[in-house]
């Protein structure tokens, strides 16, 4: 055992290094693209109406469409007069249709333009705005990528605004490359900080769901599902079901609730990615663990662990969506995955005290008396 650095200082140094790296990742600005700006299939845009009202939303970028279009309800919200607007005849796969046309401001990847927008019914679609090729000239469309820019500038949005946008921000390969990074974060939080969560890697799975479907709805949904599953536990115990059956019932309940919420939310056109994104089985397992913890160690421990699980999930979400991390995952996915795997092993060799142990063992450390 090394006696050169005091154990206390060793822990403080390790945690400080961890905080520094995390803060660096979270606060890093997006990298500026050289030459032509690349945009993904979905981007955050800002639309302004005739009297200055603006709306910021995720738009689908469709090079197969000539001009841009917006949803009828959104047009009304922005103050466009649809009754007296000129109309165009649109030919599409569905036949001919008369649609109103309005002129509004469109801000995409730092460029502002006044453009003609056709108004149609996009209520059933998950994006209220479609950007056609007329408004994409000079931009490079990166197929398979999403949220590479923000309305005001041609840089990726910060972790925070990506989190709040209700749209999948990561491609499949990018996500795969980020899993080892998320796992590394968990290793560090457990080995250096000493956090206890309900299930070792469950926060990572929650975080992946949050990156794909938006964090606000995600957290509300998770808390709702936790509460529902928890409330059902006494009943499941009363029936004296074995563990496997309890988990089976919980999986069914979580799935049923997701379907119900989706049907309700689908009417309002909210995100419908939840059904596939939220890890149903993991949520059920977390609920079961929550109950066990409550039963054995009391309400306070159980609630602390549930809160920690959610907080770690949010932290991991923020790190996964940080611009620097995202561009690494897109540019060098293999190297990122390999590096994180090696660092997870290196982090596992830390033998010092965990940060939480400085608090836990304070009584023993304070004792000087000999027995």
Partner 1 sequence: MLRTFDRILGLNARNERIARRNPHRSIRLVDDKHATKQALEAVGAPAAPTIALVRSWRQARRLDWDALPDCWALKPNQSLGGSGIMLAAGRRDGAWHSGSGRPIAPEQVAEHLRFILDGEFSPRDRDVALFEPLLRAHPDLGRLSYQGLPDVRVICHDDRPKLAMLRLPTAASGGRANLHQRAIGAAVDLGSGRVTRAWSGRDRVTSHPDSGEELIGAVVPHWDSVVEAAARCAGATGLRYLGADVVVDERLGPVILEVNARPGLQIQNVTGHGLAETVELEVVS
Closest CA to 135 of 200, 70, 68, 181: 68
The residue assigned the tokens 């005739």 is 50
Q: Work out which of 90, 255, 257, 358 binds partner 1, going by CB under 8 A.
A: 358
Residue 52 CA: distances (Å) to CA of 83, 143, 186, 359? 19, 33, 46, 55
Residue 16 Cβ, how far from partner 1 at the closest point, in Å?
A: 15
Residue 100 CA: distances (Å) to CA of 62, 87, 193, 199? 20, 4, 59, 54
Residue 189 Cβ, how far from partner 1 at the closest point, in Å?
A: 13
Binding segment for partner 1 (CB under 8 A), chosen from 49-57, 113-121, 236-244, 267-275, is 236-244
Q: Please tell me the distance from the alpha carbon of residue 328 to that of residue 44, in angstroms, as a whole number.
A: 21
Total site size for partner 1, rule CB under 8 A: 32
Taking CB under 8 A as the rule, does residue 351 contact partner 1? yes
Taking CB under 8 A as the rule, does residue 367 contact partner 1? yes
Binding segment for partner 1 (CB under 8 A), chosen from 92-100, 177-185, 333-341, 362-370, is 362-370
Q: Please tell me the distance from the alpha carbon of residue 355 to that of residue 190, in angstroms, as a whole number.
A: 10
Taking CB under 8 A as the rule, does residue 343 contact partner 1? no
Binding segment for partner 1 (CB under 8 A), chosen from 74-82, 112-120, 156-164, 345-353, is 345-353
Q: Work out which of 201, 230, 343, 350 binds partner 1, going by CB under 8 A.
A: 350
Q: In the range 279-298, which residues lie near partner 1 by CB under 8 A?
A: 296-298
- Tell me which DSSP letter residue 190 carries: I
Residue 76 CA: distances (Å) to CA of 46, 102, 121, 130, 144? 16, 11, 12, 16, 32
Contact 59, 129 (CB under 8 A): yes
Taking CB under 8 A as the rule, does residue 153 contact partner 1? no
Q: Please tell me the distance from the alpha carbon of residue 341 to that of residue 180, in angstroms, as a whole number.
A: 6
Taking CB under 8 A as the rule, does residue 4 contact partner 1? no
Taking CB under 8 A as the rule, does residue 371 contact partner 1? yes
Q: Which is nearer to partner 1, 11 or 162 (CB)?
A: 11
Taking CB under 8 A as the rule, does residue 1 contact partner 1? yes
The angle formed by the CA atoms of residues 47, 171 and 113, to the nearest 5 degrees, is 20
Residues 6+ apart with CB under 8 A from 64: 133
Taking CB under 8 A as the rule, does residue 352 contact partner 1? yes
Taking CB under 8 A as the rule, does residue 248 contact partner 1? no
Taking CB under 8 A as the rule, does residue 331 contact partner 1? no
Closest CA to 104 of 131, 126, 123: 131
Taking CB under 8 A as the rule, does residue 9 contact partner 1? yes
Closest CA to 226 of 339, 342, 343, 306: 306
> Could you give the string, one character per residue 184-203, with x where binding to partner 1 holds by CB under 8 A and - elsewhere?
-------x--x---------
Taking CB under 8 A as the rule, does residue 237 contact partner 1? no
Footprint of partner 1 (CB under 8 A): 1, 3, 6-9, 11, 191, 194, 240, 242-243, 296-298, 301, 350-354, 357-358, 360-361, 363-367, 369, 371
């Amino acid at each position: 055992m090394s006696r050169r650095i005091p154990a206390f200082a060793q822990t403080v140094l390790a945690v400080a290094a961890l905080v520094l790296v995390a803060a660096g990742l979270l606060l890093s600005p997006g990298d500026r693209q050289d030459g032509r700006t690349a945009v993904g299939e979905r981007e955050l845009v800002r639309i302004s109406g005739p009297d200055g009202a603006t709306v910021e939303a995720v738009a689908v970028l469709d090079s197969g469409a000539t001009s841009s279009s917006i949803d009828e309800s959104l047009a009304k919200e922005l103050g466009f007069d649809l009754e007296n607007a000129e109309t165009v005849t649109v030919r599409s796969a569905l036949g001919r249709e008369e649609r109103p046309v309005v002129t509004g401001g469109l801000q995409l990847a730092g460029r502002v333009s006044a453009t003609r927008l056709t108004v149609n019914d996009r209520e059933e679609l998950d994006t209220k705005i479609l950007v056609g090729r007329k408004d994409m000239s000079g931009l490079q469309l990166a197929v398979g990528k999403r949220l590479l820019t923000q309305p005001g500038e041609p840089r990726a949005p910060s972790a925070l605004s990506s989190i709040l946008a209700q749209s999948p921000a990561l491609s499949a390969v990018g996500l795969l490359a980020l899993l080892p990074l998320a796992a590394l974060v968990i290793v560090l939080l457990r080995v250096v900080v000493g956090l206890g969560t309900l299930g070792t890697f469950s926060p990572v799975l929650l975080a992946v769901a949050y990156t794909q479907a938006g964090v606000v709805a995600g957290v509300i949904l998770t808390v709702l599902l936790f509460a529902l599953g928890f409330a059902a536990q006494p009943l499941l115990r009363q029936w004296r079901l074995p563990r496997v059956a309890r988990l089976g019932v919980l999986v069914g309940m979580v799935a049923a609730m997701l379907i119900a919420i989706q049907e309700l939310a689908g009417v309002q056109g909210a995100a419908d990615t939840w059904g596939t994104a939220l890890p149903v089985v993991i949520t059920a397992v977390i609920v079961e663990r929550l109950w066990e913890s409550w039963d054995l160690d009391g309400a306070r421990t159980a609630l602390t662990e549930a809160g920690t699980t959610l907080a770690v999930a949010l932290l991991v979400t923020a790190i996964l969506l940080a611009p620097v991390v995202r561009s690494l995952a897109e540019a060098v996915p293999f190297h990122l995955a390999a590096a994180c795997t090696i660092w997870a092993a290196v982090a596992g060799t830390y033998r010092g005290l965990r940060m939480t142990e400085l608090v836990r063992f304070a009584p023993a450390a304070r004792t000087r008396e000999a027995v």
